[in-house]
Amino acid sequence: MTHIDVTSDALADSLQAVANGQPLIQALTNEVTMNDVANLILHWDALPVMADSPGDAGEMADLASALLLNTGQVPREKVDAMHEAGAQANETELPVVLDPVGVGSTPTRKSVVKDLLSAIDFSIIKGNYGEISALAGVDAEVRGVESVGDYDEIEHAARSLADSSDAVVVASGVEDIVAGSDGVYRLTAGHEMLGEVVGTGCMLGATVASFAGAVEDDHVAALHGTLAFGLAGERAAEMTYSGPGSYRTNFEDAVYGFTAENPTDTDLESRVERLN
């Protein structure tokens, strides 16, 4: 079991890989956050494409560098397109990221996500504490698309899901957990204002997919992407803002300015704790 490098130089290497590769990220996401997802992909120096209808979805997956499937809305046509794109991505060994938005809140969402997990091999699964716990078979409370309640054993739930799905698992919350074959890591980065903006969870999924499209190791991509996202949230809070609207603008600007030449002035090793 190797240890993932979390130095500023290592994060800069991942940022540079995205900038150099300009990976094409195909996102099948919900209409509420589609523009946010597209912008975050672009601001990380990747290329967004929102091909989400049957026929076009599979064809685009043949051209993409990574695929993001977000279950924020689950009309039948979009679900069919997810299966089509996922099958094509697996055929060409493309990284596939699942963002199981709202799983655990309704039987329909649970069924949709269960079918996706049965049919598609996912590289990374990214969800909030409640969503990851629900997928791991642990008691969870999800209202709509929000995680509520206490999750004292979230690192164990994330590791359990990683083992059962053979995917890297990102559980986002006050502290983020990234679990995979190279161990379980707890990340301390971010700002409370991220929780005041609708769609930041979807934006994290877009970030992880952008890194996965250019960084060869899925665990490194998930960890570095999640860490960069949190640090950008902190940078946004250092700019002047008067509420969630102006903070959201700051956050997009912070992501745009988060480059390999200026990855961080923070001791990253103090932000990442390896749990096992």
More confident call, 120 vs 138: 120
Of the ranges 62-66, 95-99, 136-140, which one carries the lowest mean pLDDT score? 136-140
For residue 147, what pLDDT is reported? 44
Of 10, 13, 46, whose CA–CA distance to 27 is shortest?
A: 46
Confidence label for 138 from pLDDT (cuts 50, 70 and 90): confident
114 is in an annotated binding site: no
Full-model pTM: 0.94
- 54, 40, 80: which is closest to 209 by C-alpha? 40
Average of per-residue pLDDT across 116-145: 84
Q: Using one digit for the tens of pLDDT, what is the confidence trace for 117-126?
A: 999 999 999 9
Least confident of 17-21, 66-70, 137-141, 144-148: 144-148
Predicted local confidence at residue 113, as pLDDT: 96
270 is in an annotated binding site: no
**56 DSSP β-pair partners:** none
Span 234-239, mean pLDDT? 96
What's residue 105's pLDDT? 84
The length of the chain is: 276
Q: Note the pLDDT of residue 148.
A: 44
Domains defined for the chain, CATH in brackets:
8-264 (3.40.1190.20)
Report the relative pairing of strands 141-143 and 183-187 from DSSP bridges.
Answer: unpaired
Pairing between β-strand 66-70 and β-strand 24-28 as defined by DSSP bridges: parallel
Least confident range from 2-6, 29-33, 176-180: namely 2-6
Mean pLDDT computed over 85-105: 95
Give me the sign of the Cα torsion angle 216, 219, 222, 225. negative
Spell out the residues 6+ positions from residue 75 whose beta carbon is closer than 8 angstroms to its own: none
Under 8 Å CB-to-CB from 139, ≥6 apart: which residues?
A: 133
Residue 172 assigned to a binding site: yes
Dump strand ranges (E) for the chain.
Answer: 24-28, 47-49, 66-70, 96-99, 124-128, 141-143, 146-148, 168-172, 176-180, 183-187, 272-274
